[in-house]
Amino acid sequence: MKILLTAYYTTELGGGETSFINVINYLSNVKKDFSITLVIPQKGVFSKHIDSSVHIIEVKNRWDLFKLSGEYDLAIHNYINFGKKFLLLPFLNVSKHSFICHGLWDIPRFTKLNLLKIKSAKLFCVNNELLNEVDYDDKYLLNLGVNLNNYNIQQNNSELINIGVIGRFQDVKNQLFALDVFKELQLHYENLKLNFIGDSAFTEHSESYKEKVINKAKKLTNVEFLGNKNTEEVFDNIDVVFVSSKYESFGMVVVEALANGLICIAPNIGGPKQIMSDKLKEFLYIPDDVSYASRLINKVLGNIDESQKIFRSHQSYYKEKFDVKNTVKLLLGEDI
């Protein structure tokens, strides 16, 4: 099978990029008879993380896409709204097309939906809210997959309870809100530490937002900025993963935390709501509500051993449900 994959150029590794890299590497390692070609405007972060057997082609404009030789059995497009450069993606010389819709900002409008219909493309949405928003017949819910083969988390042996907030510094990730919640928690607990894992997103707005978070954190004790960490190190010594986001279209951090049996507190919206509502809905909070979130975490910390048991009891369920092999099966429409 010859597979064509298309993706954005990006210099940073977010959830959408991570999930796509997991799919690419799974295909590359499991099926050696697959021919995998990745098409991106510039190599960016992808070339650092994908298997060396994957053929990468850089395209500078829309016409370069049509110079690709050979027919492909399937094209998987990571995102819908590539802009004008990729407007004609459905008309590539490919037998079947699959598009992934990652968030509210990514919902295809009238013109693009008609292009997809003309080519009988499949549309995969990463949460039910998106699925219900898109007016398209051939659409499916897609759980983004994680690859946990290399995880070896170090357990926290210090006297402090470590809360981890993981993600790029952006307004939507809401690190300022995390500080407000932490301030409330410190009224009841002296042995807490807040750890920010991640860095600015290489934009002026992101860097400015990070400065606001740093300045606000100076008024509190036991707050540390750990910067970017390798995937295998992200959850080291973390007792509670706190997702502070205003909105998460899916939530790779949530899935990875659950699949590793870690306590995870997340907003009751988008991806986290979908992921946790069947087993762990009691650990979801009203987004951007400091009082609600702080009360919930306070309750968890008050009986942290019992909370850990609950999350560990569901670890195997989430690890299996969100294994990358299931994502690949849906995208390909077959067992591999």
Same domain, 167 and 316: yes
Question: Over 70: is that where the pLDDT of 32 sits?
Answer: no
Percentages (nearest 5) of helix, strand, coil residues in the chain: 40, 20, 40
Query: pLDDT digits over 64-82, tens only?
Result: 777 776 778 898 988 876 5
pLDDT at position 64 is 73
Query: Does residue 173 form part of some domain?
Result: yes
Crossing angle (nearest 10°) for helices 304-313 and 290-302: 90
CB atoms within 10 A of CB 215: 9
Domain containing 182: what range? 161-320
pLDDT at position 67 is 72
Same domain, 49 and 128: yes
Same domain, 113 and 177: no
Same domain, 100 and 181: no
Same domain, 119 and 209: no
- As for how many domains the chain has, the answer is 2
Q: Which has the closest alpha carbon to 251: 230, 231, 235, 275?
A: 275
Query: Does residue 329 form part of some domain?
Result: no
Same domain, 135 and 180: no
- Cβ within 8 Å of residue 278, ≥6 positions away: none
Question: Over 80: is that where the pLDDT of 298 sits?
Answer: yes
Amino acid at 68: L
Residues 161 and 193: beta-carbon distance below 8 Å = yes
Same domain, 18 and 88: yes
Same domain, 88 and 214: no
pLDDT at position 203 is 77
Question: Over 60: is that where the pLDDT of 85 sits?
Answer: no
Query: pLDDT digits over 226-279, tens only?
Result: 998 887 788 999 999 999 999 999 999 999 999 999 999 999 998 999 999 889
Same domain, 182 and 315: yes
Sheet with 35-40, side-by-side order of all strands: 55-58, 35-40, 2-6, 72-78, 94-101, 122-125, 139-141
Question: Over 90: is that where the pLDDT of 222 sits?
Answer: yes
pLDDT at position 336 is 43
Find the range with the poorest average confidence among 3-17, 206-220, 319-333: 3-17
Same domain, 11 and 131: yes
CA geometry: angle 290, 241, 153, nearest 5 deg: 170
The model's pTM:
0.89
pLDDT band with cut points at 50, 70 and 90 for residue 39: confident
